[in-house]
Chains A and B, each alone.
Chain A
Amino acid sequence: MRARERWALGLAAACAAGTFAAAMTLGLPETTGGLAARILWSVRLPEALTALIVGGGLGLSGLLFQLVLRNPLADPYVLGVAGGSTFAAVGATLFLGTAAAGGGMALRGAAALVGGLLTLAGLMKLAGGKPETLLLGGVVANTAFAAGARMLTVWLSPEQLAYVTTFLVGFIPTPPTAIPLLLGIPCLYTLARFMPRGRGLDLLLLSDDEARATGLEVGRVRREALLLATVLAAAAVTLCGMLGFVGLVVPHLARLTAGRRHRVLVPASFLLGAAFLLAALTAGKLVGGSWLAPVGVYTSLVGAPVFLVLLVRSSRRELP
């Protein structure tokens, strides 16, 4: 690993650790009688762990989608994967309730995964390998699924409706600590799978024939990356709903700081994704005061301008 890459990874790790500490401690009420400790362990820790795992997972998911589809605009939301997952998860909520743990949660997760996978498979078949068609199809699917999810709200109970409204914007719940840890497994698996094989991911940037002739099992690696990216997005949706812009912006930030090699980009995207969502969580608490807007509002408010800046930077390199 080169010096710049080591520095970038160190910086990303420091950002993730710093924002994690901030999410845990900032604005903690000064009380006696162990209330602060209870809030710290029962509310702040599961919240911060959820943001860490979901943010990291979305960063990884976006990186893999952008790489495999060779499109810097690809992310689970643009591609409709999150929309499919959300529709399925809202449908599951209608029948199974809003539980953030237990069997309801597991079934909602399974529904989100199936919804995401079916959407991706359907769109890929429809697009026939054309990235533009895939992206446009994804945008259409996302809109349609969002409309479908809102339609389902007609049948929801007031409690379910409140939950789904927040779900559609994206929020950080306070589940039992074991839940984010459980959802951390696909993140850890993806990191363990692709960090040592970063050079193989690099080869996906060549033409398929050249990558195959250089020794890469292109089809297998691409399928595995797409599957894991969808699992990560579905896991994020299951827990936090539609969190926009994390998967889109974070891989670009990682490339800006950590360079181009996937051996470094994979962990950098995880760490920066975690830092991004933890920062949004903390900012929401500090800025919002007593009005706690769902964290998805903040990821979109920050993500949209950051993405526009990146877009303008890259377009300035080319004359119109």
Chain B
Amino acid sequence: MIELRKVHFAYPGAHRLLRGADLEIRPGEVVALAGPNGAGKSTLLRIAAGLLAPSEGEALLEGRPVESWSRVARAKQLAYVAQSPKTPEEWRVSEIVELGDYPHREQPPAPRPLAVRLEEVRRRLGLAPVWERRADSLSGGEAQKVSLARALVQDTRNLVLDEPASHLDLANQMVLFRSLSELAAQGRSVLLATHDVNLSRLFGQRLVLLNGEGVVKPMPEGAEEQGRLLRQAFGVAFRPVELSGTLCWFPDPRGERPASQTPGAGEGEEGGPAGPDGR
């Protein structure tokens, strides 16, 4: 379980990025965090993973302050994939994925043998065709899956993934989000950053938004409120389309252009949902 309580954060010399962000990811839950560029999604994820200390507030892992865990003990509880993960160039995929076993070399050993975990991620993420290939021959999407596989081999109860689908094709995005739901169903807590406000909700996952105010807002129930929140966060009009009983939102190219590129542009404007005509 991951909890963020009243988290504030500012990089030196920059404006305050997070201003009292609250978020809780319970076991069995996948939470997708969306928001405009520069809103602080990666920062929030790094704080949740214990890689960055908040200026104020606290991050808890399994009920304990995340910084109170030893590095190895924490790595047995939480795995993290960066927004731009590095795959050592001349290494084979199998060797890179195996690096995820590092924390389990210290006592107590992992509950499941390494070979079982390796086979499971290979199958789950469809890595068999590239398993013995060198990392420098992989496409961006394949490399992203390899980094995810390395994190899954850590076999942790908590996963923090920074834009894990950014380089994946549509079919692999489906595989990823389905896998995350399956992993959550086994009792894991999953927090991911995404730019897709629909896919996670189509898989029944919770979407929250981080806007220019530096606070986390849950996706509301009503269509009108959803449209207003999205417009406030991204500064563009959205058009709703219902898919499989889920209201999906797409930026309306006929809507007004964003006022500026800064996070939270359009904030305070009269939002309202984009109606059927996109207005």
Tell me, yes or no, whether A130 is within 8 Å of chain B by CB. no
Q: Interface readout for B95-112 with A: 1 if CB under 8 Å, 0 if not? A: 100011011011000000
Residues of B within 8 A of A205 (CB): 86, 88, 91
CA distance A260 to B98 in the complex (A): 13
A292 vs chain B, min Cβ distance (A): 39
A207 vs B51: C-alpha distance when bound (angstroms): 12
**Given contacts A206-B99, A213-B75, A216-B102, are A260 and B90 in contact (CB under 8 A)?**
yes
* Complex interface: chain A residues within 8 A of B50 (CB): 213
In the assembled complex, the Cα of A213 lies from the Cα of B86 at a distance in Å of 13
Quick one: which of A206, A260, A317 contacts B86, CB cutoff 8 A?
A206
Known: A214-B154, A215-B102, A260-B91. A209 touches B80 (CB 8 A): yes
Is B102 in contact with A210, judged by CB distance below 8 angstroms? no
- Chain A residues with CB under 8 A of B46: 209
B95: chain A residues at CB < 8 Å are 260-261
* B121-136 to A contact mask, C-beta < 8 Å, 1/0: 0000000000000001
Q: Which of A23-31, A81-89, A177-185, A195-203 lies at the interface with chain B?
A: A195-203
**A211 CA / B79 CA spacing, docked (Å):** 10
Q: How far apart are the CA atoms of A212 and B50 in the complex, in Å?
A: 9
- Contact partner, A210, options B71, B74, B76, B147, Cβ 8 Å: B147
Alpha-carbon distance A203/B49, docked complex (angstroms): 17
The residue from A207, A212, A214, A217 contacting B99, defined by CB atoms under 8 A apart? A214
Known contacts A210-B82, A260-B95; is-contact A215 B88 (Cβ 8 Å): no
Contact residues of A between 68 and 95, Cβ < 8 Å to B:
none
Q: Smallest Cβ distance from B47 to chain A, in angstroms?
A: 12
Enumerate B43-82 residues with CB–CB distance to A below 8 Å. 46, 49-51, 71-72, 74-76, 78-82
CB proximity to B under 8 Å, residues A161-209: 199-200, 202-203, 205-207, 209
CB of B218 closer than 8 Å to a CB of A:
no
Q: Are A215 and B72 in contact (CB under 8 A)?
A: yes
Inter-chain CA distance A119–B212, complex, in Å, is 45
In the assembled complex, A255 has its CB within 8 A of some CB on chain B: yes
The distance in angstroms between the C-alpha atoms of A207 and B150, with both chains bound, is 13
Considering the chains assembled together, what is the distance between the CA atoms of A243 and B255 in angstroms? 68
What is the CB-to-nearest-CB distance from B49 to chain A, in angstroms, rounded to a whole number? 6
Q: Cβ of B220 < 8 Å from any Cβ of A? A: no
B84 touches A (CB below 8 Å): yes
Q: Contact between B71 and A207 (Cβ–Cβ < 8 Å)? A: no
Given known pairs A203-B99, A260-B95, the reply for A255 and B90 (CB within 8 Å) is yes
- Bound form: Cα–Cα A202–B88 in Å: 9
Q: A207-B86, A213-B80 are in contact. Are A199 and B91 (CB under 8 A)?
A: no
Q: Which of A205-254 contact B (CB under 8 A)?
A: 205-207, 209-210, 212-217
The interface residues of chain B lying within 8 Å CB-to-CB of A255 are 90
Q: How far apart are the CA atoms of A261 and B76 in the complex, in Å?
A: 22
Residues of A within 8 A of B136 (CB): 317
Minimal beta-carbon separation of B161 from chain A (angstroms): 11
Q: Which residues of A contact B51 (CB under 8 A)?
A: 209, 212-213
A5 to chain B, nearest CB (A): 12
Choose from A199, A209, A260, A261 the contact partner of B82 (Cβ within 8 Å): A209
Indicate which residue in A209, A215, A260 contacts B74 across the interface (CB closer than 8 Å). Answer: A215
Residues of B within 8 Å of A214, CB to CB, are 75, 79, 99-100, 102-103, 150, 154
How far does the Cβ of A55 sit from chain B's closest Cβ, in whole Å?
Answer: 24
- Report whether A210 and B81 are in contact in the complex, using a CB–CB cutoff of 8 Å: yes
Specify which of A215, A260, A261 is in contact with B75 (CB 8 Å cutoff): A215
- Chain B residue contacts of A317, Cβ below 8 A: 136
Instruction: For B99, list chain A residues within 8 Å (CB).
Output: 199, 202-203, 206, 214
The reply to whether A199 and B105 contact each other, CB–CB distance below 8 Å, is yes
Q: Do residues A212 and B85 form an inter-chain contact, with CB atoms below 8 A?
A: no
Known: A206-B99, A215-B106. 19 other contacts (CB 8 A): A199-B99, A199-B105, A205-B91, A207-B85, A209-B80, A209-B82, A210-B80, A210-B86, A212-B71, A213-B49, A213-B79, A213-B160, A214-B102, A214-B103, A214-B150, A215-B71, A215-B74, A215-B75, A260-B91
Chain A residues with a Cβ under 8 A of chain B: 199-200, 202-203, 205-207, 209-210, 212-217, 255, 260-261, 317
Q: Please provide the 7 A-B residue pairs with the shortest distance between their CB atoms, ordered closest to farther.
A: A215-B75, A213-B80, A215-B103, A205-B88, A215-B72, A207-B86, A214-B102
User: Can you list 15 pairs linking A and B with CB atoms under 8 Å apart?
Assistant: A199-B102, A203-B102, A205-B86, A205-B88, A205-B91, A207-B82, A209-B49, A210-B85, A210-B150, A214-B103, A215-B72, A215-B102, A216-B102, A217-B71, A260-B88
Chain B residues proximal to chain A, CB less than 8 Å: 46, 49-51, 71-72, 74-76, 78-82, 84-86, 88, 90-91, 95, 99-100, 102-103, 105-106, 136, 147, 150, 154, 160
